[in-house]
Structure 1
Amino acid sequence: NLRVNWENSEQDARVNVSLYGEDTKVLVGLAAEVERRLESIPGLLSVNTDMDRGGTELQLRLDRDQIQRFGVDPQQVSGAIAYALRGTDINKFHTDDGREVDIRVRLANYDSQSLDDLRTQNFPTDDGREVSLEALADIYVERTLGNIRRENRQTMLNVSARAAKDRAQHLFAQVDQVMQGFEMPRGYRWDKGTRFVELEEQDQSQTFALIMSVTFVFLLMGVLFESFVLPLSVIVSIPFSFLGVYWVLYITDTPFEIMSMIGSVILIGVVVNNAIVLIDLANRLRAEGKSRYDALVEAGRHRFRPILMTTFTTAFGLIPMAAGNSKMVGLEYAPLGRTMIGGLLAAMVLTLLLVPLFYTFFDDFRTAMQRIMASAFGRKSETSGSSS
């Protein structure tokens, strides 16, 4: 299977494409194709495979026909090669202090053994002659994995692509795009793996947190206003504040990451404050006998300065966070500050301009619904009275 996961560090973003299968050679060929596809993504800093972190390996494949023809013992060949390259342990030496030291016998010039020396190494045959190793076996050098990893009884090989940190959010989509049409042999399956699932679950949990925040704010305002229609005029300030978040992050070229999401959740409880004090004052003025229009105008005039002061003091207090580069556990605080500033400024303007408009709309809607319900229940009561 093919697994894609994302690793984020302080300096860069990294996507790993993990290939799974039985045959390492097939995986190496597939990794080369994956590497070629990933290199087509613009802006990548580097593309590497596990082969790049590996080394070289000398491999010998004995020719059985030649072995039988010359009458050479295969065990003798493998033993002689191992002796020439590594030596062999023959005994242990016991020192006076009780330690055991391995005694290994090897060729005097084993450090200077070359591939040509190995090819020309001779072995005795049945008829007393000698034959070189290159006549008995195929000798070649291949690149190997730095380490062999197994998962679910399959070999795993990684291809990693590294990009600048601010491009982390685009990497997954770009990897999916370049991997389209990538055909894998039978037994080699495509699977994005557990890391991708974890990221999806993280996004879902953050979205759930946003929804629950809006729900709790709405229920609280429903109790405050003794209505579940008028709080909608306050709730509309939340999506409009996200417009400010978008533009601030866009202008500052800041990715929407975990700290930005946290800032968005905090915004939900903050941006409604200005709308609440505005609508609450308008409701109190209407209870004193003022018309809806006069109540909204007077509430806007009285709350204009406090709304500006509270918004600007909060926004200016967040500037050091938004402009700085402080970190904790590798996470920057700047996206949090920028998200808060953008949302607060947008909510301030839209609260003064649009909240009264939506308040009027929902108030008319509530009045219309009350008339419809009163008319319906009134007719029902008249019908019941005439029947009796």
Structure 2
Amino acid sequence: MQNDGVQYLRVIVDRLAAGQFGLSVEDVQDALRAQIEGQRAGLVIEGNQRVPIVLRGPERVKLSPAEFAMLRITAADGTSVPLESVARLVRDGGPVKIDREMGSRYSVVIANVSGRDLVGFVKEAKAKIAKAVSLPTGYRISWGGQFENQQRAAARLTLVVPLALGVIFLILFSTFGSVRQSLLVLSNIPFALMGGVIALWVTGEYLSVPASVGFIALLGIAVLNGVVLVSYFNQLHAEGLSRLQCVVVGAERRLRPVMMTASITAFGLIPLLFASGPGSEVQRPLAIVVIGGLVTATALTLILLPILYLRFAHATAEVCHG
């Protein structure tokens, strides 16, 4: 974003000429500041209002370089001299505006990243700038915008996700009363994450904050499907069926509920895949992750989870008769 090209009138004080009139550089600067910005001369009190009295030069001085050059400056002996006698006026280019933050001036460089991940771009840019740019004393570079938001969100997710998994495990343990079966349900989570990662790779998207939110949504769906299957397996096992019969009959009878849960969620997110208006940069990655994760989570839940239940759900082995 270009921030220069504006013409300014720069005043270069001639120290020798000013000294001949008994003026210093600070005297000339103070006189010009009083003419342009004004100098407070008093205060008028009107009821509850306090109105300051400010003396400044005429408005035409700010608009005409010729009028500005003819400003009169009072010397120490009381004589007045025109500004052009003690200073030189030069036209110079400068910034459109000067922004400040936390007491420091700053300039903004805006870049839009396309065709690659944002985090990788920033890391590469930081390395190249650190190698090629030598900053003067007092200067620094700060990276912000969407990258800063993503870094902040990632830091929060590293705290929230393990905490959420811990709470889910406690709830599962209180439901099944078994560490093995609780871990068995949690094994559904990698199935879902794998599909989300593959979907991002196939579509060319990158891991972002919306995609991370999609992965979190997948955790709940994957755990729900696991609870549906394992709880029904336990119910059949309590009715006297062998473990092999439990997984065969249970997977067959719970096929429809699991498929309904996944299909309703996936079909509901399909419009977000084709979103192109404002907000599509948030909607599309989330939908891609959730739909891709649902495909693998549903398939692997119905295929691998019964096998894992047959092998690891109970501490003691059970002989299964055909």
TM-score (norm 2): 0.69
Show the 5 A alignment for 1:108-187: 113=65, 133=84, 137=88, 139=90, 141-144=92-95, 146-151=97-102, 154-164=103-113, 169-170=118-119, 171-181=121-131, 182-187=133-138
Q: After superposition, what is the alpha-carbon deviation per residue over 1:137-175, rounded to whole angstroms, capped at 9, x for unaligned?
A: 474524146135252xx5221232220578673353344
The separation in 2 between residues aligned to 1:341 and 1:255, in whole angstroms, is: 15
Structure 1 residue 265: Cα displacement: 2.3
More moved, 342-351 vs 247-256:
247-256
Structure 2: gaps spanning 5 or more residues? 40-53, 74-80, 318-322
Find the aligned partners of 2:157 and 2:92 in 1 and give their Cα distance. Answer: 51
CA deviation profile, 1:281-329 (whole Å, cap 9, x unmatched): 322333334332332222223223432233223311222234335767x
Change (3 A) 1:164 1:172: closer
1:74 Cα shift? 5.8
In 1, Cα distance between the equivalents of 2:85 and 2:311?
Answer: 91
Q: How big is each residue's C-alpha offset from its partner over 1:17-46, in whole Å with a ceiling of 9 and x where there is no partner?
A: xxxxxxxxxxxxxxxxxxxxxxxxxxxxxx
CA distance change for structure 1 residues 362 and 261 in 2, over 3 Å: closer, same or farther?
A: same
SS of the equivalent of 1:160 reads coil
Q: 1:306 to 1:206 in 2, by over 3 A?
A: same
Aligned length: 299
State the structure with bigger RCO (CA 8 A, min sep 6), 1 or 2: 1
Aligned to 1:354: 304
Seen in structure 2, the aligned counterparts of structure 1 residues 168 and 86 have a Cα distance that, compared at 3 Å, is farther
Q: Is the 8 A contact 2:215 2:289 kept in 1?
A: yes
Distance 1:309 1:259 in 2: 25
Given the alignment of the two structures, is residue 210 of structure 1 paired with residue 168 of structure 2, yes or no? no
Question: What is the one-letter code of the residue matched to 2:274?
Answer: A
Conserved 8 A contact 1:237-1:347: yes
Secondary structure (helix, strand or coil) at the match of 2:261 reads helix
- In structure 1, the partner of 2:239 is 288
Q: Percent identity?
A: 25
8 Å contact kept, 1:249–1:338: yes
Q: Identify unmatched segments of 5+ residues in structure 1.
A: 1-47, 90-101, 124-129, 369-388
The letter for the 1-side match of 2:184 is: S
Corresponding residue for residue 220 of structure 1: 171
CA distance in 1, matches of 2:118, 2:180: 38
Is the contact between residue 11 and residue 87 of structure 2 (CA under 8 Å) also seen in structure 1? Answer: no
- Give distance in 2, aligned partners of 1:260 and 1:234: 23
Residue equivalent to 2:50: none
Deviation at 1:114, TM superposition (A): 6.5
Superposition map of 1:50-89 within 5 A: 51-52=3-4, 55-68=6-19, 71=21, 73=23
Please state if 1:345 is matched with 2:317.
no
Which of the numbers 310, 315, 323 marks the counterpart of 2:266? 315
Letter in 2 for 1:233: L
Amino acid aligned to 1:340: V
CA 1:177–1:357 in 2, change beyond 3 Å: closer, same or farther? farther
Post-superposition shift, 1:86? Answer: 6.5
C-alpha contact (below 8 Å) 1:213/1:265 kept by paired residues:
no
CA distance in 2 between partners of 1:82 and 1:223 (Å): 76
CA distance change for structure 1 residues 218 and 133 in 2, over 3 Å: closer, same or farther? same
- Matching of residue 249 in structure 1 with residue 200 in structure 2: yes
1:11: which partner in 2? none
Equivalent residue letter for 1:241: A
Q: Contact 1:234–1:275 at 8 Å: present in 2 too?
A: yes
Once residues 192 and 100 of structure 2 are traced to their aligned partners in structure 1, the CA distance between those partners, rounded to angstroms, is 48
Cα 1:274–1:194 shift into 2, 3 Å: closer
> Aligned equivalents of 1:219 and 1:108: distance in 2?
77
Amino acid at match of 1:159: V
Structure 2: distance between partners of 1:272 and 1:87:
68
Please say if 1:274 is aligned against 2:225.
Answer: yes
Aligned equivalents of 2:253, 2:230: Cα separation in 1: 12
Which structure has greater strand proportion?
1
Structure 2 counterpart of 1:227, one-letter code: S
CA 1:58/1:354 → structure 2, altered by over 3 Å: closer, same or farther? same
The answer (yes or no) to whether the contact 2:218–2:294 under 8 Å persists in 1 is yes
**Secondary structure of 1:161 counterpart:** coil
| Residue type at the aligned position of 1:288 | E
Report the RMSD for the aligned CA atoms in angstroms.
4.8
